[in-house]
Structure 1
Amino acid sequence: MKRNLLTLIAAAATVTSASADLYYLGSEAQESLPLKWTVGLNATWDSNVSPTAVGVGADENAFSLNPYVGLSFVNMTPQSTLDVYARVGGVFYLDSPTALGTDDYFTQFRAGLNYTRRFSERLRFSSRNFIAYELEPDYAYGFATTRQNSEYFYWQTDNSIGYRWTERFATYTGFTLTGLQYDNLPNQDMFTWMVYNQFRYQLSPQSVLTFDIRYAQNNADGLTSDSEYLFFLLGIEHRFSPNTILVARGGVQFYESEAVNGNDGAAPYLELALRSQINDQFSVRAFTRYGVEAYDSTRQVFAAPFNLYDFDERLTLRIGATGEYAISPRFSIFGGVDYIPSTYDEGRLVAGFGPGATGSIDEDLFNAYIGLSVKFNETFYGTLSYNYTDSDSDFPFYTYDRSRINVGLRAEF
């Protein structure tokens, strides 16, 4: 199928990228901001620090401390915008977890650099770059479906050229590189490259119609097969008000596994992002994505004996929403929810003992959090939050629930 996909992409000529953050709406910083430093400390009680552990360390609770320091900076000129941010810290467990593969210290690091260059009223270049090395999965990245007992290194660079051909018609053409690498988990690492073109038509002052073509190849590690994808998507970007915008795209996704006797097919694909500042006190963001994903597609299906299956199709729905409400100038409440149901199909035995193939297997993850933020003065802030996660899986060892209570203090200057 590779030749067919490449022929289609060449004939159609060119796509918009999937950002590292599924909440992203394509916007950029609107004003310069001076260098800001943040220093903080979180104290966390975790009811199930190694939720996928079996035997020793299963259902083990623990206390941890998370010190960190961060910075952010935005510089705008009439021709360019530079947005830089970084945060480094660590998670120190007061009592070392006993589950296999865990430790009493984990590194946390995130950084981003976004740059836009406006060469003229018609031509612009945009580059978005993100890097993270940490333990906990962030579901808004779009690859995690469960807690893994390993630190991971995740990065993405998205670079595009935008050109306005007429007053109403424009295009964005570019490429995205994405990497994911775990320290202690085999068959999970992934490198993806994607080229894309987006055609844009200004339907009205509030609405833009879009047509996207994307072609991607995933190079997987170990027993996980390589794969490729081709997307054709129709969409709309609509601004309901100056403070509310919706971006929605839907269409068809063609996919193919490059494994021997691998499967190929087509599936519906949908992505949606919403941002709204409802009033001075209340803001919300939300996203939805539905399609076939390549991540975490090699799993153990039976508890015993040892067996691993590689799945050609992992159809996944991702729903996320977060919001914040300012009760007063000093107090705010915040919360959010993630829901990720997945169906694994076309599984082939690639290691161990078991049937040569397996049928559909389902997995659902629900994650929710709520918290209170306090502004003590212009420098010091405090937070108190509760996070609950519930995983229901037909795979062995992936059904669990987990609660976390977090108290934090930070200074901004």
Structure 2
Amino acid sequence: MATALIAVFTGQAFSQGLTAVRDFSADFGEDVPLTWSFTTRGGYDSLQYKVQSPFLENFESYYVQGGLGLTYADADPTTPWSAAVDLGAIHYVDGTNRYDDNFYNARVAFNIAHQMSERLKISNNFYLTYEAEPNVSTGASTTLYNGQYLYGYNNFNVSYAWSQRFSTSTSLTVDGITYEDEAVSGLEDRLSILIAQQFSYALTQRTSLAAEYRYRITDYQERDDVDSQSHFILAGVDHAWSERSTGSFRVGAEYFKSDRTENTSPYGEVAFSYLVARQTTARWFGSVGYDSAEIGGYDSRYSIRTGLNVNHQVTKRVGLNGGVSYAYSNFEGGGGDVTEHSLLLSTGISYQMLENLSLDARYSYSVLASDDNLREFDRNNVSVGITASF
């Protein structure tokens, strides 16, 4: 779990934008003792829109941030589990115009698995966050800066090995988001339920073929004109090049139907994970399909999303991390189609001054280009922080 859990709370702090790709699962790689961490951070945040609007205001401000974190993982062979809690607050010295000067974040992650028998395994992954940019993003928020939101995700999975080669996996995923800003909340608050049934056949010890059916329903809490449902028929391959390098690929069709439109379009997703002697990790994700975020007055949104995060431990004291995520979106209906491109670049460096004291510096740049000039913006965020762990 150490790898996956800590990645969510630290290593992938800049992997924002992958709304359609959410993976809070655990790999339970090793035990992690109960660890407390205290972080203080200072930085500068600048957001500039191309066109001024009463609802989209620029801001430039220094900020100070503090936080408390707790992690624990038990890699028990039968029932591994892990938990993490992260609490914090951020204060913008010069304010943010549209919102208050203070923002708060509270995140909880809990993952558990249980080997019922040699054939049967169940697992559950839970994640809940109350936050605002530029804190760690789950990718659940919209592209634009919209203040505080509450996002929750839970995945329950049952897998059964019918033979040495053939297995099935059944899962139920529930996730939802709600915003404090009433203008955003009325358009974006929603709850989604995804049911998936996968059939897998192992060709070799390293390669498996998969066939999968999924059904997703999305219900908007404050509106009834864009509620939707999707049916997915997918096929794919899971392959392990080595114990440290794995990949997964799915491709097929998605039948999408809402109160405004219906269509059948290609759907696909890919994931790749690479670990080198605990010194270098690389994770790449990608997806193409219908997206429920930021529909607003449009009938549907079809998106291509991809992201890459790399962490490298240069020495025992010095670590580097970087990330890039890109999203292409096509909004249909609403008086005309709109195309958007969003890009997020990030980089960071950390230095272990003492055994339990580290210093880090981060920088991120995001930009949105859109046919709708009111949505276009660019943003810069730079900060330095110090973390003490016990």
Q: TM-score, normalised by structure 1?
A: 0.84
Match of 2:267 in 1: 269
| Distance in 1 of aligned mates of 2:254 and 2:134 | 25
Q: Is the Cα–Cα contact under 8 Å of residues 50 and 149 in structure 1 kept in the other structure?
A: no
Contact 1:190 1:295 in 2 (8 A): no
Q: Let me know the Cα RMSD of the aligned residues.
A: 2.3
Aligned mates of 1:52, 1:203 — CA distance in 2: 55
Q: Which residue of 1 aligns with 2:238?
A: 237
**Which residue of the partner structure matches residue 307 of structure 2?**
320
Question: Residue 285 of structure 2 aligns to a residue in which SS?
Answer: strand
Inter-CA distance 70–20: structure 2 relative to 1 (3 Å threshold) = farther
Asked whether the equivalents of residues 94 and 101 of structure 2 are also in contact (C-alpha less than 8 Å), the reply is yes
Contact 2:20–2:287, Cα closer than 8 Å, also in 1: no
One-letter amino acid of the counterpart of residue 166, structure 1: S
SS at match of 2:146: coil
Question: 2:379 aligns to what?
Answer: 402
Q: How do 1:190-269 residues align onto structure 2 when only pairs under 5 Å count?
A: 190-223=190-223, 224-257=225-258, 259=259, 262-269=260-267
| 2:347 equivalent in structure 1 | 370
Distance 2:19 2:366 in 1: 22
1:147-226 equivalence runs, <5 A: 147-184=144-181, 185=184, 186-223=186-223, 224-226=225-227
Q: Which amino acid aligns with 2:324?
A: V
8 Å CA contact 1:231–1:254 kept in 2: the answer is yes
Q: Which runs of 5+ in 2 are unaligned?
A: 1-17
Instruction: Quickly say closer, same or farther: Cα 1:250–1:205, change in 2 above 3 A.
Output: same
Compute the displacement of 1:241 (Å).
Answer: 1.3
Give the 5 Å matches for 1:6-405. 22=21, 24=23, 27-48=26-47, 54=53, 58-98=57-97, 100=98, 102-136=99-133, 141-184=138-181, 185=184, 186-223=186-223, 224-257=225-258, 259=259, 262-278=260-276, 281-298=279-296, 309=297, 311-347=298-334, 358-405=335-382
* CA–CA distance in structure 2, aligned partners of residues 398 and 326 of structure 1: 38
Query: Deviation string for 1:252-303 (max 9, x for gaps)?
Result: 011101x2xx2111111111111112455332111001101112101xxxxx
How far apart in 2 are the matches of 1:60 and 1:363? 23
Unaligned stretches of 5+ residues in structure 1:
1-18, 299-308, 348-357
Please list the CA deviations of residues 209-255 of structure 1 after superposition, one character each: whole Å capped at 9, or x if unmatched. 11111101100133451100011111111111111111111110111
| In 2, Cα distance between equivalents of 1:54 and 1:95 | 20
State the alpha-carbon separation in 2 of the partners of residues 334 and 45 from structure 1: 20
State the distance in 2 between where 1:253 and 1:21 align: 14
CA distance in 1, matches of 2:55, 2:172: 45
Higher alpha-carbon Rg? 1
- When residues 53 and 202 of structure 1 are mapped into structure 2, their CA distance, relative to the original with a 3 A threshold, is farther
Partner of 1:355: none
CA 1:21–1:277: 2 relative to 1, 3 Å: farther
Distance, in Å, in 2 between the alignment partners of 1:57 and 1:196 is 39
Q: Secondary structure at the match of 1:397?
A: helix
Letter in 2 for 1:161: V
Aligned residue for 1:297, secondary structure, equals coil
| Matched AA of 1:397 | L
CA distance in structure 2 between the partners assigned to 1:173 and 1:219 by the alignment: 22
Q: Is the 8 A contact 1:140 1:320 kept in 2?
A: no
SS at match of 1:218: strand
